[in-house]
Amino acid sequence: MGAGKRSLTMAAVAVVCALTVLGAPVTAYASQTQPTDPTPTPSPSGAGTGTPDADSAPVTNEELEAVRAKLEGLYHDAAVATDAYNAAEEKADKQSAEIVDLANEIVKGQEKLDKLQDLIGAAARAQYRGGSLPPEVQLWLSENPQEFLEGADRLRQGQLATKGLLAEMNRTQDDLEQYSKDASARWQKLEANRKAKEKAKKKIKKQIATAEKLEADLEDDERERLAKLEEDTARQKQAAWLDSGILDEIDGKASEQGKKAVKFATDQIGKAYEWGAEGPRTYDCSGLTSQAWIAAGRGIPRTSQEQWRQLEHIPVENMRPGDLIIYNADASHVAMYIGDGAIVHAPRPGRTVTIAGAGTMPILGVVRPDA
Selecting among 17, 76, 313, 345, the annotated active-site residue is 345
Q: Comparing C-alpha atoms, which of 165, 163, 155, 164 is closest to residue 133?
A: 155
9-29 average pLDDT score: 37
Lowest model confidence (mean pLDDT) among 163-167, 339-343, 352-356 = 163-167
Summarised one tens digit per residue, pLDDT across range 173-224 is 777 677 677 777 767 777 777 787 787 778 788 878 888 888 788 888 888 8
pLDDT at 263 over 90: yes
pLDDT at 48 over 80: no
Q: Report the C-alpha dihedral over residues 249, 255, 261, 265, rounded to 10 degrees.
A: 30
Contact by Cβ (8 Å): 276, 349:
no
Give the pTM. Answer: 0.58
pLDDT at 54 over 70: no
CA distance 97 to 74: 35
244-272 average pLDDT score: 93
Q: Is 313 a catalytic residue?
A: no
288-297 average pLDDT score: 97
Which homologous superfamily does the CATH classification assign to the domain defined by 220-368?
endopeptidase domain like (from Nostoc punctiforme) (3.90.1720.10)
pLDDT at 290 over 90: yes
Contact by Cβ (8 Å): 258, 370:
yes
The number of helix segments (H) and strand segments (E) in the chain equals 11, 6
Which sign, positive or negative, has the C-alpha torsion 97, 274, 42, 39?
negative
Contact by Cβ (8 Å): 340, 291:
no
Residues 6+ apart with CB under 8 A from 89: 26, 197, 276, 302
pLDDT at 110 over 60: yes
Contact by Cβ (8 Å): 315, 323:
no
Backbone angles phi, psi at 348, to 5 degrees: -170, 170
Q: What's the pLDDT at 309?
A: 94
